[in-house]
């Protein structure tokens, strides 16, 4: 019996011209979405520097996994923009076409967070939601900054 691969939750950025790609990897689709959300925050600031003071509920629904992923990130961009908050922790649940999540964060503190850029939205460019291997999911797209 082959050894089970080490389960990992990771995020990273990838290059795209003047903008930037966000990528999340996790043992489930929902975990990959949560990791990509950390990558989203990391475009602006260090996610570890965001205190989980306030919980914000997010819900979205879409006909496919990739559209759901773009909608998820855009919902976070909207919450960040209208609440003037940053988020540093996410719990995501996906049931078929519906996503529900809780994002924890705090109001932007320019002196402490030193926000680098403002994200305008998630795009369909380099948009992928797919199993990466037998043990992991990948979720990624380019975000417009």
Partner 1 sequence: MDLLSLTRTSETEWRIEPHGHMRVPGILYGTDALVRDMDEKVYQQVVNVATLPGIVRAAYAMPDAHWGYGFPIGGVAAFDADLGGVVSAGGVGFDISCGVRLLSTGLHVDDIEPVKKRLADELSRSVPAGVGSIGRVHLDDPEMNAMLAGGARWAVDRGYGTAADLDRIEEHGCMSGARPEAVSDHAKRRQCDEMGTLGSGNHYLTELVRRAFARLLPRAALTLLYDVSHNTCKVELHEVDGRQRRLFVHRKGATRAFGPGHPDLPQAFAAVAHGLDRMEHLP
Interface positions with partner 1 (CB under 8 A): 16-17, 44, 78, 80-82, 84, 86, 107-108, 110, 113, 115, 117-118, 120-121, 123-125, 142, 144
Give 61 or 118: the residue with its C-beta nearer to partner 1: 118
Q: Nearest to residue 16, comparing CAs of 35, 51, 43?
A: 43
Give 14 or 124: the residue with its C-beta nearer to partner 1: 124
Give 13 or 16: the residue with its C-beta nearer to partner 1: 16
Q: Residue 132 CB, nearest distance to partner 1 (Å)?
A: 24
Q: Residue 79 CB, nearest distance to partner 1 (Å)?
A: 10
Which residues share a beta bridge with 142? 21
Using alpha carbons, list the distances in angstroms from residue 138 to 6, 24, 31, 107.
Answer: 15, 6, 9, 29
Whole-angstrom Cα distance, residue 144 to residue 81? 14
Q: Residue 125 CB, nearest distance to partner 1 (Å)?
A: 5
Whole-angstrom Cα distance, residue 104 to residue 11? 18
Give 1 or 15: the residue with its C-beta nearer to partner 1: 15
- Check: CB of residue 32 under 8 Å from CB of residue 24: yes
């Amino acid at each position: 019996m082959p050894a089970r691969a080490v389960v990992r939750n990771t995020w990273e950025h990838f290059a795209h011209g003047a903008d930037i790609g966000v990528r999340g990897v996790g043992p489930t689709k929902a975990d990959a979405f949560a990791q990509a959300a950390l990558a989203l925050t990391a475009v602006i600031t260090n996610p570890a520097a965001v205190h989980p003071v306030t919980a914000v509920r997010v819900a979205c629904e879409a006909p496919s996994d990739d559209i759901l992923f773009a909608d998820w990130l855009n919902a976070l961009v909207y919450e960040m923009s209208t609440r003037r908050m940053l988020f540093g922790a996410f719990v995501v649940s996906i049931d078929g076409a519906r996503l529900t999540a809780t994002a924890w964060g705090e109001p932007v503190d320019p002196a402490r967070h030193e926000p680098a850029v403002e994200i305008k939205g998630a795009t369909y460019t380099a948009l992928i939601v797919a199993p990466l291997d037998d043990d992991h999911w990948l979720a990624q797209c380019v975000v417009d900054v």
